Structure 1
């Protein structure tokens, strides 16, 4: 099945308001580490922390996000590879169409989740705790996050945090039919989340508070919801193929 990566990128971009809550504290801490390493030189202002050097803060945030997106790509490759193998062994002719439908249903669920209208994805996230409980003890070896390798490794581990949004896109990655295709889907998704998390790492808590406002989450949720609804309509045959193909994650 041919997959369009543009809508996957857009889902990551819109869904990154959720990443603000999941990763915002970690990304902010990366800048904070650099801040604490700078010695204040302004007399009479010892109680205030100076801003971190922009280059150092950017490198730490980039390292963290490189690790995070790398773990997404590994998960996408594993999911797509296993799904492709299982489909071939079972010789299921229409599994791709059903997986396509489920992936778009999950996008609808994600849109509602971002708008705080339905929290059903929390049950999906709870299932991911089985793996996360095994990974969590490893975090103690990465604290404090005072080097670039530690930031990268922390991002790699944090990419496995139970997240309904990531699980939704993993279903799309399964449609690619190959490990390389699955990794490409998750790379596009991770790249979509990158701009906001980079800005968050450099701008700090003020941007985080603005992005958690209901209006911002509603607008992003509506965009993700629209992608899911378009995909479902395409699956049902309610839309003609044409330029709208570019707005669907794949064609059943």
Structure 2
């Protein structure tokens, strides 16, 4: 397995990050600006440093999960290197992309069931997160924000789970880590902005028309990938926006 284009994964992270605004945006904002109240003279620097540290930890967790998924895919590929198996896996990846689009549009809540299943992992991680949380009136420095991000990256999230299917298709631990790095970088502008701008940005991202637009675009990527995987569309520019077998996408 292999040939995963990173551009569509980055775009999915960029568009899908509207989901992050409702799921963890409030906590990101609260953690990122905590020290600002103590150092009002230069509020931007500690908030930016905390935001970058938190997101570095979060993306690092994504990369670790991607490496694990890619390693599993590599093992499965070594057991059965069949074209039919690879094609079926690409169908699954694009189907998950289409389901993610519907999920972002609030038209289908199936991925929410995956998030419920992930609570098993989260229950083990959550006590560790409390250890890096600030006490009353205290702030978090970049070191603790990095630790918080490393733990928060394991929060049950249907969007992350759907991209991990693509990471598995990379066929190697390094490839899986790169897929999740591209996804994490796609979510970075939104979550960094949430940490710096807080409630104002979060309120605009919760608007139904924003979620519908972003979800529709992600759904479109998935449907294009399915059509191309079925051989119903020419390659050309679709190679850069679709997850399909063969080629560079």
Using structure 2 for the length normalisation, give the TM-score.
Answer: 0.92
Are 1:227 and 2:237 matched, yes or no?
no
Ranges in structure 1 where 5+ consecutive residues have no aligned partner:
39-49
Are 1:83 and 2:84 matched, yes or no?
no
Shift of 1:52: 6.2
| 1:1-252 equivalent positions in 2, closer than 5 A | 1-38=2-39, 53-144=43-134, 146-252=140-246
Contact 1:12 1:189 (C-alpha < 8 Å) held by counterparts: yes
Shift of 1:183: 0.4
Contact 2:89 2:169 (C-alpha < 8 Å) held by counterparts: yes
* The 10-residue stretch of structure 1 (26-35 or 122-131) with the greater mean CA deviation from structure 2: 26-35
Question: Residues of 2 paired with 1:70 and 1:11: CA distance?
Answer: 18
Ranges in structure 2 where 5+ consecutive residues have no aligned partner:
none
Contact 1:245 1:251 (C-alpha < 8 Å) held by counterparts: no
Question: Residues of 1 paired with 2:82 and 2:241: CA distance?
Answer: 27
State the aligned residue count: 241
Deviations 1:139-175 (A, max 9, x none): 1110115221110011111111110000010001111
Contact 1:34 1:56 (C-alpha < 8 Å) held by counterparts: yes
Question: Residues of 1 paired with 2:217 and 2:122: CA distance?
Answer: 29
Question: Residues of 2 paired with 1:245 and 1:13: CA distance?
Answer: 19
Question: Residues of 2 paired with 1:96 and 1:13: CA distance?
Answer: 27
Shift of 1:62: 0.5
Shift of 1:127: 1.5
Shift of 1:219: 0.6
Question: Residues of 2 paired with 1:51 and 1:234: CA distance?
Answer: 55
* The 10-residue stretch of structure 1 (106-115 or 86-95) with the greater mean CA deviation from structure 2: 86-95
Cα pair distance change 1:241/1:143, threshold 3 Å: same
Cα pair distance change 1:243/1:55, threshold 3 Å: same
Contact 2:52 2:192 (C-alpha < 8 Å) held by counterparts: yes
Question: Residues of 2 paired with 1:227 and 1:29: CA distance?
Answer: 33
Moved runs in structure 1, 4+ residues, more than 6 A? none
